[in-house]
């Protein structure tokens, strides 16, 4: 499991210090899961030197991104991406604009207000902000 959408990939690094990795929290969740696998796979009869990750569509995006992620090095040894690739990324300016729209939709005046926003409100705002972004 990992955080999706606004919960996992909103880049807040332009708005406050300490949020440098906020735009990739979903991938960091996946890396944490792979670290857990490395620690615990032996208890399930598995081999930590033979971990394979696989993903389809958005999962393939994750797989191909993890292939190039230094923090993921050594956590898996084979990869199967299907029907997707790491091609849909935003520039820093685009990521900032998406975050601005999300803050507007949640009526958040700063990062802390966005963090304190109820999840349901954030998820609803994510859809509206995305629609606005794609019509600009």
Domain total for the chain? 1
Task: Answer yes or no: is 129 within a domain.
Answer: yes
Query: Is residue 20 a part of any domain in this protein?
Result: no
For residue 81, being part of any structural domain is answered with no
DSSP letter at 24 equals: G
Model confidence at 1: pLDDT above 90: no
- Residue 122 in any domain: the answer is yes
How large a percentage of the chain has pLDDT more than 70?
98
Average pLDDT over residues 66-81: 97
Residue 80: how many other CB atoms lie within 10 Å: 12
Residues 6+ apart with CB under 8 A from 126: 5, 6, 102, 105
Under the banding of pLDDT at 50, 70 and 90, the label for residue 125 is very high
């Amino acid at each position: 499991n990992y955080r999706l959408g606004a919960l996992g990939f909103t880049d807040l690094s332009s708005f406050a210090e300490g949020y440098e990795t906020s735009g990739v929290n979903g991938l960091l969740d996946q890396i944490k899961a792979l670290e857990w696998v490395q620690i615990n796979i032996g208890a399930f009869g598995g081999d930590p030197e033979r971990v394979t990750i696989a993903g389809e569509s958005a999962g393939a995006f994750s797989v191909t991104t993890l292939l190039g992620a230094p923090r993921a090095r050594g956590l898996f040894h084979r990869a199967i991406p299907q029907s997707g690739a790491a091609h849909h990324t935003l520039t820093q300016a685009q990521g900032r604009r998406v975050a601005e729209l999300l803050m507007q939709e949640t009526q958040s005046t700063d990062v802390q207000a966005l963090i304190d926003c109820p999840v349901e409100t954030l998820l609803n705002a994510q859809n509206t902000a995305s629609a606005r972004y794609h019509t600009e």
